[in-house]
Amino acid sequence: MKLLAGNSNLNLSKKISKYLKSKLVDTNIKKFADGEVYVEINENIRGNSVFVIQSTSTPANDNLMELLICIDALRRSSVKNTTAVIPYFGYARQDRKVVSRTAISAKLVSNLITNAGANRILTVDLHSGQIQGFFDIPVDNLFTTSIFARHIKKNINNNNLVCVAPDVGGVERARSLGRKINAGIAIVDKRRPEPGKSEVMNIVGSVEEKTCIIVDDLIDSGGTIVNAAKALLQKRAKEVYVYVTHGVLSGEAVKKIKNSKIKKLIVTDTIDNQDKIKKASNIEVLTISNMMAEAIKRISNSTSVSDLFK
C-alpha cells in the first residue's frame, strides 16, 4: 500500500500517513506558468495499491485536474490499482437537472475520474447518496455522524437536545445523529428564491427551551445556517450549535458565522480552512484523519469498511 498526496489538503494527508505509519509517495506536483498541472512520481510504484488523497475543494477545477493527472500518472506507472480518496467531493450539488438545459456535473466528474484510471472511490458524506450510482466502480462513502455524536456527548452538558435538519433533504442525517445522542428532530422549512440564497418559512417540530444541534453535510456561503439559527432562536430555542462535515466557507461565510448567534460551528478537516478560521473563536475543527486512515487500511486488507460505523 502506498499513499500519494495532492496539494489540496496536505495537513490531512500527513495525519493519515502518520496514523498508517506509511510515508507519502515522493511526488513532484507543480504548475507551469500558464497554469497547466504537472505531476512526476519520483519512486518505483509498479505493482502497488496506491491511494491518492485529494479534495476537490477551492480552487475546485485546479484540484480536480490535479487529481485526474495524478491518477493518470499512476496508471502509466503500472500500479496494481488506484483508489481516489476524495474527502470532499466537489460538484456534488449538481447531481440532477433542477431546471431545463443544465448539466449534471456530478455525473460528468464521476466519468472523468473513472476514465482517468481510478479503480475505487473513498469519500466522506456525499451531498446525495445517489452519486454513488454515478460511478461504475466501487464507492465507499464514510459518515461523520459518530465523530459528531462523541463530540456532543463530551462537550454539550445538556439532556434537552434536538437535532435540526436545515432542509427536508437533511432529515435522514438529523435522524441518524439523533439516534446516537438520544435526541428528537426538527426541520427547517426553507425555500430558495435564487441559487445561493435561502429564506426560512417555518420550523417543523418543538425547539422551545431546547439546545438545537443543526447538522448538515456542507456549509458554503453560510446564509442557510445563519438564517436557520436565527429562526430557531426566534422560536425560543435556548442555544444553537452547528455540526457540518465540509466547511466550504466561501466569500463572507466566516464573518457571517463569527457575527451570528451560533454558539459554535464545528466542521471537519475534509477541507483545509486553517487560514480562514484562525480569527473566528466560535469555529472548531475536528479531524477525520483516523477514520479515513482506518478505512484505507481496511480497503487495503480487504476487510469490512462498514464495521467502522457499528
Q: What is the DSSP letter of 24?
A: B
Order of all β-strands in the sheet with 211-219: 197-204, 184-194, 161-165, 211-219, 239-247, 264-268, 283-286
Q: What is the DSSP letter of 106?
A: H
**Residue found by looking up cell 500500479 in the block:** 79
Set of cell numbers at residue 121: 472511490
Q: Measured between alpha carbons, how far apart are the two ends of the chain, in Å?
A: 26
Which member of 180, 190, 230, 263 is catalytic? Answer: 190
Compute the radius of gyration of the chain from its Cα atoms: 20
Whether residue 107 lies in the annotated active site: no
What residues contact residue 215 under an 8 Å CB cut-off, 6+ apart?
Answer: 148, 163, 164, 165, 170, 173, 174, 177, 242, 243, 244
Set of cell numbers at residue 230: 436565527
As a residue count, the chain comes to 310
Set of cell numbers at residue 56: 476537490
Cα–Cα dist 30/39, whole Å: 7
The set of catalytic residues is 190
